[in-house]
Amino acid sequence: MLKKIKVKDVRLGMFIQEVCGSWMDHPFWKNSFMLTEDKDLNTLKNCGVDEVWIDTSIGLDINANVAALSQKEAELKVESELKKIEQTLQKTEVLVPLRVELIAAKKIHTQAKKVVISIFSDVRMGNALKLDDVVSLVDEINQSIARNSSALISLSRLKNADNYTYLHSVAVCILMIALGRQLELEHEMLKQAGIAGLLHDIGKVFIPHEVLNKPGKLTDEEFNIVKAHPLKGWGFLKDSNEVNDLVLDVCRHHHERVDGMGYPDKLSGEALTLFARMAAVCDVYDAITSNRCYKKGWEPAESIRKMAEWKNGHFDEVIFHAFVKTVGIYPTGTLLKLKSGRLGVVTDQSKKSLIKPIVKVFFSTRSNAHILQEIIDLSKSADSIANLENPLQWGFDLGEIMGV
**pLDDT of 49-72, one tens digit each?**
889 999 999 999 999 889 999 999
- 174 with 196, same domain: the answer is yes
How far is CA 78 from each of CA 64, 72, 81, 310, 364, rounded to the nearest angstrom?
26, 10, 5, 9, 29
Residue 78 lies in a domain: no
Is the pLDDT at 182 greater than 80, yes or no? yes
- Among 175-179, 213-217, 246-250, 266-270, name the one with the lowest average pLDDT: 213-217
How many CA atoms lie less than 13 Å away from 77 in the CB half-sphere? 14
What average pLDDT does this structure show over 235-248? 90
Q: Residue 308 — very low, low, confident or very high, per pLDDT cuts 50/70/90?
A: very high
- 237 with 149, same domain: the answer is yes
245 phi, psi to nearest 5 deg: -60, -30
Burial of 273 (0-12, 13-18, 19+ CB in 10 A): middle
How far is CA 219 from each of CA 11, 25, 222, 254, 371, rounded to the nearest angstrom?
20, 14, 5, 23, 50
- 49 with 126, same domain: the answer is no
What average pLDDT does this structure show over 244-252? 96
Spatial distance between the Cα atoms of 59 and 69, rounded to a whole number of angstroms: 17
What is the domain range of residue 33? Answer: 2-67
**Domain end among 327, 349, 384:** 327
How far is CA 307 from each of CA 152, 169, 303, 372, 397, rounded to the nearest angstrom?
22, 20, 6, 35, 25
- 173 with 302, same domain: the answer is yes
- 166 with 264, same domain: the answer is yes
Q: Residue 240 — very low, low, confident or very high, per pLDDT cuts 50/70/90?
A: confident
**Domain end among 288, 304, 327:** 327
Residue 80 lies in a domain: no
Spatial distance between the Cα atoms of 178 and 322, rounded to a whole number of angstroms: 10
pLDDT in tens, 220-233: 899 899 999 999 99
Residue 389 lies in a domain: yes
What pLDDT is recorded for position 94?
66
Spatial distance between the Cα atoms of 109 and 93, rounded to a whole number of angstroms: 23
Is the pLDDT at 81 greater than 70, yes or no? yes
Direct distance between the N- and C-terminal alpha carbons of the chain, in angstroms, rounded to an integer: 40
Residue 73 lies in a domain: no
- Among 19-28, 270-279, 336-345, 381-390, name the one with the lowest average pLDDT: 19-28
What pLDDT is recorded for position 387?
92
What average pLDDT does this structure show over 176-205? 96
Q: Residue 10 — very low, low, confident or very high, per pLDDT cuts 50/70/90?
A: very high
> Residue 16: how many CB atoms within 10 A of its CB?
22
What pLDDT is recorded for position 92?
62
What pLDDT is recorded for position 91?
59
Spatial distance between the Cα atoms of 223 and 233, rounded to a whole number of angstroms: 17
Residue 89 lies in a domain: no
Spatial distance between the Cα atoms of 349 and 378, rounded to a whole number of angstroms: 10
**Domain end among 13, 46, 67:** 67
- 359 with 234, same domain: the answer is no
pLDDT, averaged across the chain? 91
- 150 with 241, same domain: the answer is yes
Spatial distance between the Cα atoms of 69 and 187, rounded to a whole number of angstroms: 44
- 308 with 340, same domain: the answer is no
Residue 169 lies in a domain: yes
What average pLDDT does this structure show over 371-396? 92
Spatial CA neighbour of 403 closest among 345, 325, 328: 345
- 346 with 317, same domain: the answer is no
Spatial distance between the Cα atoms of 367 and 321, rounded to a whole number of angstroms: 39
Per the CB < 8 A criterion, the answer to whether 70 and 56 are in contact is no
Per the CB < 8 A criterion, the answer to whether 8 and 66 are in contact is no
pLDDT in tens, 116-175: 999 999 999 988 888 888 999 999 999 999 999 999 998 988 777 678 888 999 999 999
CATH number for 137: 1.10.3210.10
- 114 with 13, same domain: the answer is no
Q: Residue 238 — very low, low, confident or very high, per pLDDT cuts 50/70/90?
A: very high
What pLDDT is recorded for position 400?
84
Q: Domain count for the chain, please give it.
A: 3
Quick one: what percent of the chain has pLDDT higher than 70? 98
What pLDDT is recorded for position 323?
96
Predicted model pTM? 0.90
Beta bridge partners of 190: none
Is the pLDDT at 42 greater than 80, yes or no? yes
290 phi, psi to nearest 5 deg: -105, 145
Residue 74 lies in a domain: no
What pLDDT is recorded for position 192?
96
- 252 with 298, same domain: the answer is yes
pLDDT in tens, 313-341: 899 999 999 999 999 999 988 999 999 99
What pLDDT is recorded for position 266?
95
pLDDT in tens, 82-111: 888 888 776 566 678 888 999 999 999 999
Residue 72 lies in a domain: no
Quick one: what percent of the chain has pLDDT higher than 90? 68
What average pLDDT does this structure show over 368-390? 93
Is the pLDDT at 304 greater than 90, yes or no? yes
Residue type, 230: P
Spatial distance between the Cα atoms of 255 and 338, rounded to a whole number of angstroms: 37
- 148 with 198, same domain: the answer is yes
